[in-house]
Amino acid sequence: MLLFCDIRDPLKLSPVSFNTDKYLSVESHGGVRQVTPALWTEALNVYRPDLVAAMADTVTDLEAKNKRIIRSVDRSLRWLDENLAKAKELDIPLFAHVLGHTSTEERARSAKETAQRDVQGFVVNVLGLSHDQIPTLIRATVDNLPQDKPRLAYGLATPEKILEGISNGIDLFDGSYAYKATQKGRAIVFKFGKELKETEEAAAAKTLNLWDPNFAHDFDPIDASCGCNACSRPHTKAYIHHLLNAHEMLGPLLLMSHNIYQLDQFMAAIRDSIESNRFEQDKETFMQHFSHAIESDGMKGHVDEVDSESLGVPLKKKRTIL
């Protein structure tokens, strides 16, 4: 396992406060912090991660003018040079953000300039951008990067986007899909490649909503073929459903362990598919087999029944989670 550090969280798109040539505004638990190259270096000294991402003036405004996009590329290149020198002093591999936002011209320029630096990898950020724009913007970036260094993408977290990203030259992805599924009370059940059994069923669900009352008496594991702890006895769908209803910490913990395991298996199946020259065929099979509708939050609108008799109090409370 490797520790990769970045100032921004790829889990969500946060509006960026005002940035200057001297500092980068970053949202934190304590409010907005102004991160300077000196503070970035100080954090690097403390954490000593296996990999680190350089500072980047990421644009989040979808209506940003070209002048703002150009300024973000220029500013990030200056920070990159400063960060790279410090990372080399500490012998920590550095990934550089490739900027350009919605401009294919600026993405190409940023990629060409960044590729001239002695970095160990690249971050391609398409978080929050239109689905129709993403393939073109990725190609504008990747086509100008060396093939012998890894490309990490932010904003391609769902299974469908991961597969599309691979087709467009992306190597690494953030694992936020597992976390988001867990937060919704959903368990990953999709398969890929050899693991996806032939069936006539179409538009199958990629996840199970364990908030669903239908699982209250389902004493089977989430996935009998899964090797994670949550799918081993005595854990069952009914048990995890109960834990979610009772707001027990163990519920999300078991779900998260399962979802991380399944996402890891998904990536392993993709690697096997690529090595066997079946990737595009397996990708097409996956897209035809599973539903690609947005998965709702199982908790919202759920009538939460707490059986307090188990606590020695003969009373039941109901509330609806909005």
Per-residue pLDDT of the chain (322 residues; tens, 9 = 90+): 889 999 988 887 777 668 999 999 988 888 888 999 999 999 999 999 999 999 999 998 888 999 999 999 999 999 999 999 999 999 999 999 999 999 999 999 999 999 999 999 999 999 989 889 999 999 999 999 999 999 999 999 999 999 999 999 999 999 999 999 999 999 999 999 988 876 546 678 999 999 999 999 999 999 999 999 999 999 999 999 999 999 999 999 999 999 999 999 999 999 999 999 999 999 999 999 998 888 777 666 555 444 434 334 444 444 444 3
Strand order from edge to edge, sheet including 94-98: 4-5, 51-53, 94-98, 121-125, 151-154, 172-173
Same domain, 116 and 245: no
Q: Which two tokens stand for residue 272?
A: 């096997």
Same domain, 165 and 299: no
In a domain, 322, yes or no: no
What's the total number of domains in the chain? 2
- Between helix 66-89 and helix 104-115 the angle, nearest 10°, is 20
Given 126, 159, 174, the domain boundary residue is: 174
In a domain, 101, yes or no: yes
Given 142, 174, 206, the domain boundary residue is: 174
Same domain, 278 and 165: no
Same domain, 154 and 11: yes
Helix (H) or strand (E) holding 45, with range, is helix 37-47
Given 174, 196, 212, the domain boundary residue is: 174
In a domain, 309, yes or no: no
In a domain, 267, yes or no: yes
- The reported pTM is 0.88
Same domain, 169 and 184: no
Q: What's the pLDDT at 27?
A: 83
In a domain, 316, yes or no: no
Residue at token pair 């959903």: 186
d(CA 72, CA 20): 10
Same domain, 212 and 271: yes
d(CA 87, CA 47): 12
Provide the residue range defining the domain that includes 250: 180-304
Same domain, 195 and 59: no
Residue 203 is given by DSSP the state S
Q: What's the pLDDT at 306?
A: 44
CATH number at residue 109: 3.20.20.105
Same domain, 155 and 290: no
In a domain, 136, yes or no: yes
In a domain, 320, yes or no: no
Same domain, 87 and 157: yes
In a domain, 311, yes or no: no
Same domain, 119 and 42: yes
